Structure 1
Amino acid sequence: MSEFEKGNILYVEDNPDNRNLIRRVLNAEGYFFVEAANAKQAIEKLASEKIDLILMDINMPDMDGYTLTAEIKKMSRFAAIPIVAVTANVMRGDREKSLEAGCDGYIQKPIDIDTLAQQIERFMRRSTNV
């Protein structure tokens, strides 16, 4: 059995410290971690890797996560991959804006690493039941 048998997760996040933290947590939980620092890298990773779930930072410099989510959902090859918004935006309506953009869920920053694995498992189960 592979060390990373639970699935492949793409984390689109421009902050390398955030990517490193989430990589450590997800690898320890048995997930294969794929990272992208921007929209261009995210599309390249989607084309070259088998991805089961996308964690999408919303506030990125080149293209925000809402726009990138909408672009990914337009591509038939990737439209069924669940996308979970990861954001510090906690104003009224931010969760709804994420869902309207095509996100399948929402995780608030700062990320609670003690519950992250449970949240990911919930989204992964949902994606396999579609």
Structure 2
Amino acid sequence: MVEEAGKKIPDEGQESADIYAPQKKKDASPPSPRKVILIVDDKGSIRNIIKHDLEQAGYNTLEAADGLTAIEKALKEKVDLILLDVMMPKVDGLTVCKRLRQEERTKTMPIVLCTAKGQKEDIVSAMKVGADDYIIKPFTKATLLAKLEKFLGPNKMVEGNVPPSEDKPPTPSKPSPE
């Protein structure tokens, strides 16, 4: 190719469209969607501390101050994991957990119960109603993040976390091994 007075002239046999066609940049893979944690605790100060820690760690958060609101949000919003206090007014965390396990949309959603009650029978009760894990208050930010990462590792998206109003793209089928 020859340059003549600031213009590029194609070599013999090279189309001019090839020279002036815009170069495609390699697209970076789109960023992973931020995981959404539903924080359920009747104490606003505790919710605020947890919310601050989770948002600093790159999570999005939703909040509920009681069990009824937690059930409503878990069924309507996009939620990847629920951090659920056990002792709350209206409906306690064990009842919320049990109810969510009965719903198609939330039956496999990770639920981590958190409470000041750390007796063996409390933990057993939590597991019996379907909790995936249990964290005892007070806990450190590092402990909390380790529990969450157990379920929401950097490349894991939880099945069933798309709100009912959104359409899910079809899942490609894998050829069966022969």
In the superposition, the TM-score normalised over structure 1's length comes to 0.89
More helix by share: 1
**Are the equivalent residues in 2 in contact too, given 1:5–1:30 (CA < 8 A)?**
no
2:42 corresponds in structure 1 to 14
Larger-Rg structure: 2
1:40 corresponds in structure 2 to 68
Output the CA distance in 1 between the equivalents of 2:83 and 2:120: 21
**Are the equivalent residues in 1 in contact too, given 2:41–2:85 (CA < 8 A)?**
yes
Question: Counterpart amino acid of 2:127?
Answer: L
- What is the CA-CA distance between 1:5 and the residue it aligns to? 4.0
1:72 corresponds in structure 2 to 100
Output the CA distance in 2 between the equivalents of 1:42 and 1:87: 16
The one of 109, 114, 125 aligned to 1:81: 109
Structure 1 consecutive aligned stretches of length 4 or more whose deviation exceeds 2 Å: 127-130
Output the CA distance in 2 between the equivalents of 1:83 and 1:26: 16
User: What are the ranges of 5 or more consecutive residues in structure 1 without an aligned counterpart?
Assistant: none
Aligned residues: 128
2:122 corresponds in structure 1 to 94
Question: Counterpart amino acid of 1:39?
Answer: G
Q: Does 1:118 align with 2:118?
A: no
In the superposition, the TM-score normalised over structure 2's length comes to 0.66
User: What are the ranges of 5 or more consecutive residues in structure 2 without an aligned counterpart?
Assistant: 1-29, 160-178
